[in-house]
Amino acid sequence: MTDLVAATGKERREFLDLMRTEAGEGLEAAQKVLGISSQQFEGFVESVGRVCVIRHGDESAGFLWIEERDRGLHVHGIVVKQPFRGRGVATEALRLLEAQYSDSVGAVELGVHHANHEARALYEKLGYQTVHHVEDVGFDILRKAL
Ligand SMILES: CC(C)(COP(=O)(O)OP(=O)(O)OC[C@H]1O[C@@H](n2cnc3c(N)ncnc32)[C@H](O)[C@@H]1OP(=O)(O)O)[C@@H](O)C(=O)NCCC(=O)NCCS
């Protein structure tokens, strides 16, 4: 059973650390797309949208960072902790998110680095399609209409 719960300050810092260690190239590319430094990125996590803990049973299995904007839901980051990978946690979390927002937004958007084959396979399996290439940073924007 997967659930999404608002993260505490300490959990947001844990999310930032995980993004830095686990989503390196993707994070750098995202910072370039946004035109911000690593320090500014930290401020973004605190001030933009909200970070949710992905709860799997009664354990914290990872994090989702989302923002509702212009009738769209932007997934700025998703990370599943190593021991929980390959068990459908990210699939369930994204499906849950889509179900929760299907009445209030028209589409979900997210970005993925060209080298991140795991994440791309996950998004494509769920029906996300590339709508924009940011060539110079090797980053694609994917969208799924709800
Ligand atoms: C990408 C990530 C979130 C996937 O989480 P997960 O819970 O392991 O994913 P799931 O178990 O739900 O897997 C869903 C799909 O992802 C793909 N996938 C997951 N692990 C994979 C791997 N090692 N190799 C290839 N594809 C993989 C598959 O398509 C899989 O579908 P399948 O099980 O039907 O084959 C996780 O690997 C992660 O946290 N990576 C580091 C952070 C990151 O890159 N985040 C994305 C950019 S912000």
Q: Which residues contact 46 (CB under 8 A, 6 or more apart)?
A: 12
Q: Which fold has domain 2-145?
A: Aminopeptidase (3.40.630)
Check if the beta carbon of residue 78 is closer than 8 Å to that of residue 67: no
pLDDT digits (tens, 9 = 90+) for 46-69: 999 999 999 999 999 999 999 999
Pocket test for ligand 1, best of 118, 124, 140 (most atoms within 8 A of CB): 118
Query: What are the φ and ψ backbone dihedral angles of 48, each rounded to 5 degrees?
Result: -105, 130
**Residue type present at position 73:** L
Q: What is the pLDDT of residue 47?
A: 92
Domain boundaries, the chain: 2-145
Q: What is the pLDDT of residue 41?
A: 87
**Residue type present at position 110:** L
Positions in the chain whose pLDDT score sits under 50: none
Classify residue 114 by its DSSP letter: T
Closest atom of ligand 1 relative to the 124 alpha carbon: 29
Using a 6 Å CB cutoff, which residues line ligand 1?
Answer: 22-23, 26, 77-80, 85-91, 116-119, 121-122, 125
Pocket test for ligand 1, best of 16, 44, 94, 122 (most atoms within 8 A of CB): 122
Distances (CA, A) of 59 to 2, 3, 27, 141: 10, 10, 25, 31
Q: What is the pLDDT of residue 123?
A: 97
Pocket test for ligand 1, best of 14, 85, 109 (most atoms within 8 A of CB): 85
